[in-house]
């Protein structure tokens, strides 16, 4: 199986250590930060690699969980579009049906909801979901439209409102290690 692993910035994942030497072929795409960049980079990578599965990996903030927690997200909320949901704008995606249909990622553990928006949250605000990022919803949307299974693996680096930027920087190495171990344990 060919797995495309997408991530926003180099510091989140050290992809050079994980190739296609195991049971799956793993290819990587650095998307850049934000929904538009992520959607563009992913669309380009889908054309180039034709993967069987897309796995978004990266760091997130949270309001209700602990630094070091890892969430496997199959449900996604676009917090920017959520503001105009009353106008009939779609703002939620559930990618679990296609994963289930193709029997993928069943034993990957803890389910979470990822809230995506084009801002790095530094204040504790009402946020739908378990974790927040800036890319996953857009990637889930692209994959749904292309009928490619999508899942997101997120490492909590910071508690929103508690010096989030500094904590994110401080925990980046821990995230890289934990996400690398996840790749070794579940994809190779």
Quick one: tokens of 182? 């996840």
Domains of the chain: 2-175 (3.40.50.1580)
CB 59 within 8 A of CB 171: yes
The residue whose two tokens read 């009939």 is 88
Does pTM top 0.85 for this prediction?
yes
pLDDT at position 20: 56
Q: Which residues fall within 8 angstroms of residue 187, CB to CB, at 6 or more apart?
A: 3, 5, 18, 22, 24, 26, 55
CA 135, CA 145: separation in Å to the nearest integer?
A: 16
CA 157, CA 144: separation in Å to the nearest integer?
A: 28
Measured distance between the N- and C-terminal CA atoms of the chain, rounded to whole angstroms = 10
CA 15, CA 29: separation in Å to the nearest integer?
A: 9
Q: List helix spans (H) across the chain.
A: 35-49, 79-82, 96-101, 136-146, 164-186
pLDDT tens string, the chain, 188 residues long: the values are: 999 999 999 888 876 655 555 688 999 999 999 999 999 999 999 999 999 999 999 999 999 899 999 999 999 999 999 888 778 888 999 999 999 999 899 889 768 999 999 988 877 677 889 999 999 999 999 999 999 999 999 999 998 888 777 888 888 899 999 998 988 888 87
pLDDT at position 21: 59
CA 58, CA 67: separation in Å to the nearest integer?
A: 13
CA 37, CA 31: separation in Å to the nearest integer?
A: 6
* CA 50-53-56 angle, 5° bins: 110
CB 28 within 8 A of CB 12: no
């Amino acid at each position: 199986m060919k797995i495309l692993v997408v991530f926003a910035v180099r510091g989140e994942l050290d992809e050079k250590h994980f190739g296609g030497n195991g049971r799956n072929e793993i290819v990587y795409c650095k998307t850049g930060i934000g929904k538009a960049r992520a959607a563009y980079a992913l669309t380009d990578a889908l054309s180039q690699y034709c993967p069987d599965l897309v796995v978004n990996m990266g760091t997130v903030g949270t309001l209700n969980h602990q630094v070091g927690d890892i969430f496997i997200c199959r449900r996604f909320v676009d917090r920017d579009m959520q503001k105009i949901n009353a106008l009939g704008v779609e703002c939620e995606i559930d990618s679990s049906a296609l994963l289930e249909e193709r029997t993928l990622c069943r034993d990957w553990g803890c389910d979470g909801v990822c809230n995506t928006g084009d801002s790095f949250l530094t204040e504790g605000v009402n946020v739908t979901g378990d974790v927040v990022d800036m890319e996953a919803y857009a990637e889930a949307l692209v994959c749904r439209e292309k009928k490619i299974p999508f899942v997101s693996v997120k490492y909590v680096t910071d508690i929103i409102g508690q010096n989030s930027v500094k904590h994110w920087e401080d925990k980046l190495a821990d995230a890289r290690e934990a996400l690398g171990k996840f790749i070794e344990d579940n994809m190779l």
